[in-house]
Chain A
């Protein structure tokens, strides 16, 4: 009995040590982005805020899903919600995603729509890219 108990204690200590040393998945930081991790209650709170119209909350979710969960589809989903909620950074990000060379012609047209929205709000990157786009179209 004593031996069994000792083995149990040793395994318990080892298990705890191994977990503290292991960079793991399953809702924990994947690699090097610990500061961007959201707890499940934070995800729920941000989702509620995003559905109520917060662009900032939806943008945080899109960054979380892209960089912590590596779920690009869900990230794009929240990027568009953030853009619809009027967040200028998200509108720029929507342009960046939709203007990918693999995007359809319709997506590329929609990308410019979001770029203009972001530029109107004064996003300096969007203004620069829009100028560049208009210059290239004028050539």
Chain B
């Protein structure tokens, strides 16, 4: 009986428990993302992955997206043709990752697929050419297969 209980306990602790990903409050809560939206891939020329650029990450401390106020730095190398403007958008960062951006009427999803060893992502930023501020921003991160 005791061993059965121990076995069940061990299963509950080690068998069911799943690895915990790094999480931030802004990624939680009600989402405006709709699976029936028409999600379009943003062409790579429309954005620039800034990685964990501290200047951009600091600027995004209080916002998911903002009109890029930079007068110097990495983001300036992204040129946006009017009427689009350059925005800084929050993302998740892995050192060796590929970023992909989807856009719909509901907002943006910034996906980071990492090719490095599994671990928790940290804060990152992406500069993106957009006509207007996105309604919502969501980020995903995982290990690219």
Contacts and interface: CB of A to CB of B under 8 A. Distances in A.
A101 interface: yes
A31 B19 contact: no
A137 B44 CA distance: 19
Interface string A21-54: 0111110101111111010000000000000000
A27 to B, nearest CB: 9
Main secondary structure of the interface of A (DSSP, over half): helix
Interface of A: 1, 4-5, 7-8, 11-12, 15, 18-19, 22-26, 28, 30-36, 38, 59-60, 63-64, 66-74, 79, 89, 92-93, 95-97, 99-101, 125, 129
5 contacts: A28-B18, A32-B139, A33-B31, A74-B145, A101-B45
Contact of B16 (A4, A15, A93): A15
Contacts of B143: 70
Interface stretch (B21-29, B53-61, B68-76, B122-130): B21-29
Contacts of A38: 35
